[in-house]
Structure 1
Amino acid sequence: MMKDANNYEFEVNLNDKNHASTKAIELIGFNKKVLEFGCATGFISKILKDRGCAVTGIEIDKNAAKKAEEHCGRVIVGNLENLDFNKSLGDEKFDVIYFGDVLEHLKDPKRILLGIRNFLGKEGYLVISIPNIAHWSTRLELFNGNFDYQKIGILDDSHLRFFTKKSITNLLESCGYFIEAIDNVEQFDRTIINNILKMKGFNEIESYKIFLMLSQSGAEAYQYVIKAPACSEFKYIEKLSNEKISLEQEIKEKNINIAEKDKHIGELQNVVLEKDKQIQNLEHNLETTIADNNKRINDIYSSTSWKITSPLRYFHSKLTKR
C-alpha cells in the first residue's frame, strides 16, 4: 500500500546535518543530472534544482507529480513495480539516481535496482536513504514481544521490506553496486531509553542488561544514507584490493598492539619474579634472625651465671609483688 505522496512532504533544513535528506543532498552534490524515484511534490527536487541539478522525477501519485513539475525538468507518472524503464527513459544517462526512503515500499527492490543500472553514466552512482530495522527502538519492541505497524517511522504501515546495514549492503552488491560511502542518521539517547525501561517496570540491573543488548552494533542508526556506484570488474577488483589493504593494515596494527601487550606482560612477570625473590630473601633473613635469637636465649638459660643468679631473681620477684 502506497501512501499519499503529500504525507511525505516536509521542509528540509540543510543546517540539520543529522537528517537523511540533508546527507543525501550533500552526496548528490551540485550540477548533476539526477533521476529521483518517488519525488512526491518535488520538495527535494526544488533544493537540487537550486544547486544546479537537472532533475527527472518518477512519482506514482499524479496529483503530487503535477506539483513536482514546477521543480523537475520532467516528471514520469507511474508505479515503479511495473514501469518500463527503457520505454520511459530511452537512452538517457544520469549522474545520480536517488531513492529517498523508497526501496522499503517495493515488493521487489532487486528488480528495480537491476533495471536502472544501465541508466547510470560512466561515473554515476546511486544515493539511497533507508530505515534501519535494527534500530534500538525496534529491538526494544521485539524484546517486549511487539512488532506493531505505525503511521510513520521505521514500522510505517506502507513498508513492505525491512533492511539492516548488512542486508542492504548484500542487496546492492548482488545487483552490481558497491558501497563507496555509508552514513547513518543517529537517534540514540541513553536517558530516553532508560526512562522507557523504567516505565515498563524494569529494575536497574535488568535495565542495564537490556541497554547493553539494545546498544550493540547498528542500534544507534535510525536510517542509513548510502552512495553506491555501479560496479565494473575493474572497480570491483579495486574495491577488493582496498579492502585487502585495509584488513592487512588492521591486522598489522592488532599484531603491534598484541606485541606491545606481550612485552608489557613480560615486564610485569619480571617484576613479580623480582618481588618473589625479595620476599624469599626477607623470609630467609627473618628465619635466620629468629634462629639466632632463640640460640642466644637458650645459651643464656644454660649459662652458669644464669643458674647462680636464679635465687636473686626469685627474691626480686617476691619483693616486686609486695
Structure 2
Amino acid sequence: MSADWEKDYPALENFLEKDLDENSSLKKMLRLIGEQKRVVDFGCATGYFARLLNNRGCEVVGVEINSKAAKVARNYCEEVIIADLDFVSLDEIFSDKIAVEKFDVAVFGDILEHLRNPWQVLEETRKLLTPQGFVIASIPNIAHGAIRLALLQGNFEYKALGILDNTHLRFFTRKTVAQLFEESGYLVDVIEPTKLPIYANSDLIPIIDKNNFDINITNEIERDEDADTLQFVIRGYPVSLENKYSKLYKQYFEVVEELNNYRTQLDNLKVELHQSKSQLQVRNTEFEQNLTDLEQSQAQLQEEQNQLQQTQIQYQQLKNQLKKNRRKLEEAQNQFQQTQMQLEQQDLQLQQVQQHWQDNQIKLQEAHAAWEHCQQIIQAMETSKFWKLRTAWLNFKHYLFSKFEN
C-alpha cells in the first residue's frame, strides 16, 4: 500500500445531512441514492458518508485503502474491506459474496480519478449490482476555468486537496466522464455539477487573478457552462436490454413531448406571425407617414438653416457695427473727457475773469466817485470869485495878444 494514501480523513462524527449545502456533492449523491438501499461505498474513508446513509435506512459495506480510516468507518458500516483497487480486482474482494449478495447502489465519491484503470473497476462493479442497481459517482472537473487559466500561465501544480490532488491519476471533463461510463457498459441518465467560482479563494483550485489575463480570454472561458463546475455527480445504470428499452422509451416520450412543445410553439409562432404582419402593415403606413413628415421636416429644417445662416450674417454685421459703435463711443468718451477738462479750465478762467471784473468794477466805482468829487471841486472853483476873475483875466490877456499881433 502506498504511503501517499495514508491521508488524515476527517471523522465528522457530528456531521448531519441537514448541514450539507445544496451545492455539495454529498447532498446530491444522497438524493440520487434514496432510502432503504444496500450500498457498497468505495473509498468510504472514516465512514462519514456511510453514517448519513444509515440515517436514511441504508445498509453499507465499505471498501477503503487507508487502514486507519477503515478502523473508524467500521462504526458505521456492516463491514469494511481494506483493499487497493489498483492491485486487487472486485472479483477477488467479493468472490464469496457475488453469487449470493448484491448491492442496490455502488458509490464512488471522488475515487475513480485515483485509479489506474477506472474502466476495469466500473466493469467489475456491474457484477455486484442488482438488476435495478446503479452506480453513483462524483468526479472532479479538470476543465474548471481556474485550471485553464493556470495552464495559460504555464502552471499545473499538484496540491493536497482539490482538482489537482496529488494522488489523482486520471482527469476528466463532462465529455470524457460520459465516455468513461459508456465505455464501461453503463447508460448515464444524470450528470449534475457542483459549482465553485473561477476566481474563488479556495484550496480546491488554483488562485487566479483575473487582471493578469486579456479580457477576451476570460470572457471566452467564462462563457463555457462548465467553467465554474468543480465536480460532476453521475448516475449510471448497467447496460441491459431492459435498461436500453427503458432509456429508449423514456427518450421516445421526451421526444414526443418535445415535439408537442414544438408544435405548440409553432402554432403560437403562426399566430404571432399573423399579428406581426398586421402590425407590420400598420407600421409600414406609419413609416410612410413618418417618411412624409420627415421630408417636410427636412424642408423646414433646410429653410430654418437658411434663416439661421442669414441670421448669423446679420448677427456678424451687427457685431461688427457694435464694434464700430464701441470705438466711436470710446472716442466720444475721450473727447467728452477732454472737453470736460477744457470746460473745467475755462470755468476756472471765467472765475478768474469774474474776480478781475469785480475788482475793476470796484476800481471803476472808486474812480467815478473820485471824478464826481473832482467835478464838484471844479464846479465850485468855477463858481468862485477867483475863478471868475481868472477867466476875465485870461480873456483880457487873449485880447491884448491878438491886438499886438495885428
Shorter-chain TM range is 0.7 to 0.9
Larger Rg: 2
Structure 2 distance, partners of 1:195, 1:55, is 40
Structure 1 distance, partners of 2:200, 2:184, is 40
SS at match of 1:31: coil
**Structure 2 unaligned runs (5+)?**
301-406
Of residues 219, 223, 234, the one that matches 1:211 is 219
State the shift of 1:39 in Å. Answer: 1.3
Deviations 1:251-285 (A, max 9, x none): 6656737936755764564344323432566689x
Task: Tell whether the 8 Å contact from 2:89 to 2:121 is kept in structure 1 after alignment.
Answer: no
Match of 1:21 in 2: 26
Structure 1 distance, partners of 2:68, 2:167, is 19
Deviations 1:262-321 (A, max 9, x none): 55764564344323432566689x6xx99xxxxxxxxxxxxxxxxxxxxxxxxxxxxxxx
> Given the superposition, is the C-alpha separation of residues 271 and 160 from structure 1 closer, same or farther in structure 2, using an over 3 Å criterion?
farther
Match of 1:229 in 2: 237
Match of 2:286 in 1: 275
SS at match of 1:36: strand
Match of 2:115 in 1: 106
Of residues 88, 92, 95, the one that matches 2:93 is 88
Report the AA paired with residue 196 of structure 1: D
Match of 1:314 in 2: none
Structure 2 distance, partners of 1:189, 1:267, is 48
Match of 1:134 in 2: 143
1:50 has 2:55 as partner:
yes
Deviations 1:114-170 (A, max 9, x none): 011021012211111111112222122123332222221001111111111221112
State the shift of 1:222 in Å. Answer: 0.7
Of residues 154, 178, 182, the one that matches 2:187 is 178
Report the AA paired with residue 17 of structure 1: E
Report the AA paired with residue 23 of structure 2: N
> Given the superposition, is the C-alpha separation of residues 53 and 283 from structure 1 closer, same or farther in structure 2, using an over 3 Å criterion?
closer
SS at match of 1:172: helix
Structure 1 distance, partners of 2:10, 2:135, is 22
SS at match of 1:21: helix
> Given the superposition, is the C-alpha separation of residues 20 and 70 from structure 1 closer, same or farther in structure 2, using an over 3 Å criterion?
same
SS at match of 2:86: helix
SS at match of 1:82: coil
Structure 2 distance, partners of 1:190, 1:76, is 40
Report the AA paired with residue 195 of structure 2: E
> Given the superposition, is the C-alpha separation of residues 229 and 129 from structure 1 closer, same or farther in structure 2, using an over 3 Å criterion?
same
Structure 2 distance, partners of 1:136, 1:217, is 10
Match of 1:74 in 2: 79
State the shift of 1:98 in Å. Answer: 0.5
> Given the superposition, is the C-alpha separation of residues 264 and 250 from structure 1 closer, same or farther in structure 2, using an over 3 Å criterion?
farther
> Given the superposition, is the C-alpha separation of residues 283 and 130 from structure 1 closer, same or farther in structure 2, using an over 3 Å criterion?
closer
Structure 2 distance, partners of 1:238, 1:160, is 34
For CA contacts below 8 A with separation 6 or more, give which structure has more relative contact order. 1
Task: Tell whether the 8 Å contact from 2:141 to 2:171 is kept in structure 1 after alignment.
Answer: yes
Report the AA paired with residue 284 of structure 2: L
Report the AA paired with residue 275 of structure 1: E
Task: Tell whether the 8 Å contact from 1:5 to 1:40 is kept in structure 2 after alignment.
Answer: no
Task: Tell whether the 8 Å contact from 2:188 to 2:235 is kept in structure 1 after alignment.
Answer: yes
Of residues 163, 166, 173, the one that matches 1:154 is 163
Task: Tell whether the 8 Å contact from 1:187 to 1:221 is kept in structure 2 after alignment.
Answer: yes
More displaced stretch, 121-130 vs 254-263: 254-263
TM-score with structure 1 setting the length: 0.75
More displaced stretch, 234-243 vs 251-260: 251-260
More displaced stretch, 114-123 vs 273-282: 273-282
Match of 1:259 in 2: 269
Structure 2 distance, partners of 1:151, 1:274, is 71
Structure 2 distance, partners of 1:238, 1:2, is 45
Structure 2 distance, partners of 1:130, 1:160, is 12
Task: State, as a whole percentage, how many aligned pairs show the same letter.
Answer: 32
**Structure holding more helix per residue:** 2
Structure 2 distance, partners of 1:31, 1:172, is 25
1:3 has 2:4 as partner:
yes
Match of 2:322 in 1: none
Deviations 1:185-205 (A, max 9, x none): 11127787998213x3x5xxx
Match of 1:312 in 2: none
**Structure 1 unaligned runs (5+)?**
291-322
Task: Tell whether the 8 Å contact from 1:5 to 1:41 is kept in structure 2 after alignment.
Answer: no
Q: CA RMSD in A?
A: 3.3
SS at match of 2:146: helix
Structure 1 distance, partners of 2:216, 2:11, is 37
Structure 1 distance, partners of 2:153, 2:224, is 17
> Given the superposition, is the C-alpha separation of residues 50 and 210 from structure 1 closer, same or farther in structure 2, using an over 3 Å criterion?
same
Aligned pairs for 1:287-306 within 5 A: none
